Structure formats: structure tokens, C-alpha cells
Structure 1
Amino acid sequence: MFNALIMNKDEDSSAAQAEIKQISEEDLPSGDVTVAVEYSTVNYKDGLCLSPKGGGLVRNYPHIPGIDYAGTVETSSDARYAPGDKVVLTGWRVGEAHWGGYAQKASAKADWLVPLPDGLSTQQAMAVGTAGFTAMLAVMALEDHGLTPGHGPVLVTGAAGGVGSVATAILAHLGYEVAAVTGRPETGDYLKSLGASTIVPREELNETTKRPLESETWAGCVDAVGGEMLARVLGQMKYGCSVAAVGLAGGAGLPATVIPFLLRGVNLLGIDSVMQPYDNRVRAWNRIATDLPMDKLEAMVQPATLSDLPKLGADILQGQVKGRVVVDVNA
């Protein structure tokens, strides 16, 4: 028997409740690999899945949330993994459509797993999680489209959040001048400790303008906000430069024109972490192991246990979680 945080609904209730219960391996869904989970984390999607209505992501109850986890293989029917192997899982709708990592054991398809890179612990992998994995995918996409240090400042919106924090640390480590956008002035010192050169108050960018183009300012952008801020940033990009869109904290709409694309050759790059192909997953995790400074990663981390998750889920939906949460599922 082992512990799991389970979301369930009473017959007389339409709202799901979280409860830590003991279950057995026989309760787990079928899979190629059984993993002894060591750590998980809290992402925005986790907050939705932990909410009473499941955020529109959870279709069936009882359900174990947790879209990320890292641990050690216990059993495997797939030749790619053997007992004792360290693995990490992000995406593939695990924690949403499939049971996730808020338990001491999990069952997964072998195709969903990635070997943990040398030099990276399971705890560090969950300090990275989907947020950091997405941040690295965004940086790689910008580099693939020509971003190099020395061409000008790189903007990171929503910089104090999980994706933004890791993106800021990676970009600064790689030698970029990072301008970090935040609506929380108290996070300024934190962002500078991650390597941000400039703190940009959110109010400077979250209003639309009638001008389709403004001064060429940014050599690249990792955008976690979307909405009006993304529209504004597109008009401030330097010629031929790119924005990697990773989130929609400010809304799913895009009140923009096509002028930045037509007159400045600006690129808008969509970043998806859920269905990312295996080879690019391995590439991103290997880059994380070499290009994310671990001392900066540790500065982002807030420790937690399974019992902390309901409150943390509500907090992240309100934008009240700074940096990264690492959940010790065995504590």
C-alpha cells in the first residue's frame, strides 16, 4: 500500500474533494512501466486539476493529479527501461486524462518517459518540471530562429512565475541581457538574483496601443502572458526577431495586427510541451542539465508535501506562487 492524493466526488456533490488515501498497485491503471515516484511539482494545470470542477481537464473520478513526476523504475515490460533507472515524465496529458504523479507510485507508457540526464537529480528535475522544460523549449526555438547573445535585450513576461523564472535563469546563464516583466514589484530582487538585468513593470506593456509598430527594442521574447501584452510586444520586436509564446496568463485573445510580421519579419513561435516528440524532449533535458545553473534553480524552489497541494493549487491559480514548487511525495 502507498499514499496518493485522490480527487473524488460524492454521489450527491458536483464538486471534487482532495483526500490523501492509501491505495495498492492493483489500483493503478495499466502501463508498461511502474515508477516509484520521488518528487512531483505544481504547475498551473495542476491547480486546475486540484480545483473542485477539475478546471475542465479532469473527465473521470476518482483521479490522481500531478502532470509531472520523477523517480526510479520498479518494473518494466519495455526493453528501454530497467529497474533502477531514473526517469522523468512531463506532458502526454498525464495528471489530466491519466493518473499522475501525486502518489508514491505511478504507472506509465514507456513512450511517455525520458531518461534522467546525468548530473540531474530527481529533485532537481521537478524543480524544473513542465515549467522549466517549456522554458528550455522556448529558448531552443528562439536560438533555432537566430537568437544570439549581443543582439539586444531578451524580454521575459510573467518572469516571476515558473516558466519565466527558469527562462530568466537560462538566458542570463547563456550570456543574454534579460529584461524581466512582472506585476509584483516585490519580486524585483528575486529576478535580479536569477540574472535579470532590467525589471520592467507590467503596466508599461499591458495596455494596447493604436500604433502597430513601436521602437525596435527586443531581440527575442519568452511570453507567458499572451493577450494585450503579447500584442504590444510584437510591435516592439527588432527586425527578423522572434517571440516564443508559452502561456496565456493574460488571456487567450490577441488584439494585434499583421503589420509586425509583414514589415519587420517578426516570428511568433508556438511552444507546446505536452505532445513534444521524444528526440526534442531528450535534447531539451540534456540542455537543462548543462545550461540551467543549479544554484539559481535552488533559489526558485519552495518545498511541499502531498498535504500542501490543495492550498498550493488554489494559490497558483491566483498567481500567488513564486518560482517552483517541489513536492516530496514520500514526506
Structure 2
Amino acid sequence: MGTFKAIVIDKDKSGQHVERRDFDEADLMEGDVTVQVTHSTVNYKDGLALTGKAPVVRRFPMIPGVDLAGIVETSSHPDFKTGDPVILNGWGLGETHLGAYAEKVRVRGEWLIHLPKGLTAFQAMAIGTAGYTAMLCMMALERHGLRCTRGPAIVTGAAGGVGSVAITLLARAGWHVIASTGRTHEADYLKNLGAAEILDRSELMGPAKPLAKERWLAGIDIVGTHTLANVLSMTRYGGAIAACGLAGGMDLPGSVAPFILRGVSLLGIDSVMAPRALRLEAWSRLARDLDLEKLDSMTTSITLDQVMEAGREIVEGRIRGRVVVELG
């Protein structure tokens, strides 16, 4: 047993404290697989945990980081052996179980999946929970029977991680994508990813009418609150919106009118506890369907030492696209 570098969140009477320090391997939590972490990423949830802006962390001390890619060091789980490249998203990592901003983790084998063929560890973390969630949203819209030939799709929070990948996936599948953002100066970036139109988020931020002019058939919403209420009020008859985020707030100050007068559906997307079969399908689709050149264009990389600042920046809306943390 030795020590390894980690970002650690602790809490006392004066509040939450975050520091990079050595962590004792003997203090890792129970699990049947130990993984040497080579890459992680920075999601909005990670930013909330690092800044304490929301009660993401449920035990202290906590190593944050909800995503990892790495190499199996030791395993007593039948599906994994030493040397296997693996990834992990969710399952309480960085919330209730010591997370990915560390050189080593110990986890339950059923939480892991093998690194999908066709992806490097770096690319898998460029996708991360954000891109994986975007794919879950797209799959939900497809299961609902929606097709790009019937109308456009809107993506809110478009310049963020989920939004950037969602635009890329939808555009490649043939959708006319409307990108809603408060960073209209990022229009060229969003159009390069595949957005056909840019919509200033201010158009969706006021109180929503029960029903407004029909504008899109489908959507992926990362924002919540008034934005989601407005998006629903403008959804075409029989359309659906996949909701996966709360960057603007947890409330939904809208009306039942879109649901009962236009047959609109609100599809809730959970990425944390999604069943294994759904995870495998989503990651297989990402490896096959995501334009990796577009993924590269939206991705930057940082070191473990830069994670705390990145957490502040993502919560403040100052990060575009995806950020990979390189630990290897």
C-alpha cells in the first residue's frame, strides 16, 4: 500500500475545502476492481461538486470526478483482468463513492465496461458523461419514433459539453439542428459542429405561454426551468423533448397544455444509474456514430493540477465543449 495524487474535498464548520494532496491507498473504498486512472473529464456536475454550488457530494472526505478511463491493476471480478482498458460513468462516483480525480480508484466491477473498440481512452473521456448523456437523449427520441424528416430539433445549452455532442450527433443523423445558447459569439463553433440555426437563449428565458407557435419536433434540454417550459410550449404536435440537465434550475414553471393539447412528451434521461445494457448500447453507438474529428475540435485537455479552476469555469459558463483531464 502506498499513496497517490488526488483532488480531495473535505468539509468542516467553516465550509467546504478542496485541495490536491497525497491520498493513502489503504483509504480507498470497497470494490473488486482497482483501476489505474489515465484520463478523466470535467462535467457540469463535477463543477458543482468542486465549487460546492450544489450538494453533489454526499460523504466527506470525497475524491470528486464522475468519469474515468484507465487500466485494471487488480481484479477479482470475472469480467475483468489485469491490463484491461476500462471506462466508468456514474454509479455515484464522486458523489457517494471516491471518484476519478485521482491516480487510482477501487470500484465494483459491475460499474465498469470495457473501453469500446474504435475509441482511445482520451476520446472516451472527451465524450464522458456529457456525450454519453447526449446519446441517451438521442436514443430516447428515436425510441419515441421521431425522425429528422418530420421537423427540426432544438438543443439548449448548446455550447456546453452535452450540447456540443448532441448537436454533432443530431446533425450527422440528418436533423436540422437549432442551437440555443447565451454565447452567440460561439455561432461559428456551433455551426462547425452541425447547427443550422443559432437561437439566443434570451428568447426562451421569460415566463412561458401555455402554448406558443410550433417551432420544433424534438429537442434535448440541458437547462431546465423557464427554458424547458418554453421549449415544450413551442414543440410541434406529437413531438418530444429529452430533459437531462438543470443548468438553469430544477423547477419547471410551465403548463400541461403541450401534453394534453399537442400530445407532446417529456422524456426524462438519467445517466447515473442507467442499466448496463443501455450503457453498452449507448457507448457502441458513440463509437460508431460520433464524428471523431468534430469531437476533437470541441475538446481541450488539462492536468490534475488544473481541475479546480476548470470546475469554477464550467459552473460560470466559461468552458466551451469538452475538457479531458490527463492523469497518465
Could you say which TM-score interval applies, normalised by the shorter chain?
A: over 0.9
Other-structure match for 1:17: 17
Q: Is the 8 A contact 2:208 2:233 kept in 1?
A: no
Q: Is the 8 A contact 1:152 1:218 kept in 2?
A: yes
**Structure 1 position 75, deviation (Å):** 0.9
Q: State how 1:102-117 maps to structure 2 within 5 Å.
A: 102-117=101-116
Which residue identity does 2:312 align to in structure 1? A
Other-structure match for 1:243: 241
CA distance in 2, matches of 1:250, 1:62: 28
* Mapped pair 1:232 → 2:234: no
Other-structure match for 1:268: 266
Deviations 1:295-322 (A, max 9, x none): 0101111211111111111111111111
Q: Is the 8 A contact 1:16 1:54 kept in 2?
A: no
Say which of 269, 275, 281 aligns to 2:279.
Answer: 281
Q: What percentage of aligned pairs have identical amino acids?
A: 52
CA distance in 2, matches of 1:166, 1:234: 21
Which residue identity does 2:215 align to in structure 1? T
Instruction: Classify 1:232/1:241 alpha carbon distance in 2 versus 1 (closer, same or farther; 3 Å).
Output: same
DSSP 3-state at the match of 2:254: coil
DSSP 3-state at the match of 1:181: strand
Structure 2: stretches of 5+ with no match in the other structure: none
CA distance in 1, matches of 2:270, 2:165: 16
CA distance in 2, matches of 1:85, 1:33: 11
* Mapped pair 1:2 → 2:13: no
Count matched residues: 326
Other-structure match for 1:129: 128
Say which of 310, 313, 316 aligns to 2:314.
Answer: 316
Q: State how 1:182-193 maps to structure 2 within 5 Å.
A: 182-193=181-192
Deviations 1:133-155 (A, max 9, x none): 11000000000001212211110
Which residue identity does 1:289 align to in structure 2? A
CA distance in 2, matches of 1:251, 1:58: 18
Deviations 1:106-156 (A, max 9, x none): 111011111111001111111011111110000000000012122111100
Other-structure match for 2:48: 48
Instruction: Classify 1:250/1:60 alpha carbon distance in 2 versus 1 (closer, same or farther; 3 Å).
Output: closer
DSSP 3-state at the match of 1:150: helix
Q: Is the 8 A contact 2:208 2:226 kept in 1?
A: no
Which residue identity does 2:295 align to in structure 1? L
**Structure 1 position 252, deviation (Å):** 1.5
Structure 1: stretches of 5+ with no match in the other structure: none
Q: Is the 8 A contact 1:303 1:326 kept in 2?
A: yes
**Structure 1 position 24, deviation (Å):** 4.1
Deviations 1:39-78 (A, max 9, x none): 0011122112212x47322233222111110111111111
Which residue identity does 2:124 align to in structure 1? A
CA distance in 1, matches of 2:8, 2:248: 30
CA distance in 1, matches of 2:173, 2:182: 25
DSSP 3-state at the match of 1:55: coil
Other-structure match for 2:167: 168
CA distance in 1, matches of 2:302, 2:276: 29
Q: Is the 8 A contact 2:39 2:325 kept in 1?
A: yes
**Structure 1 position 32, deviation (Å):** 0.8
Other-structure match for 2:152: 153
- TM-score, structure 2 as length reference: 0.96
CA distance in 1, matches of 2:27, 2:314: 29
DSSP 3-state at the match of 1:311: helix
**Structure 1 position 208, deviation (Å):** 2.1
Deviations 1:205-260 (A, max 9, x none): 222244x2222221100011111111111121111110000111222111211111
Instruction: Classify 1:308/1:146 alpha carbon distance in 2 versus 1 (closer, same or farther; 3 Å).
Output: same
Q: Is the 8 A contact 1:304 1:325 kept in 2?
A: yes
Root-mean-square deviation over aligned CA pairs: 1.4
- TM-score, structure 1 as length reference: 0.95
* Mapped pair 1:217 → 2:219: no
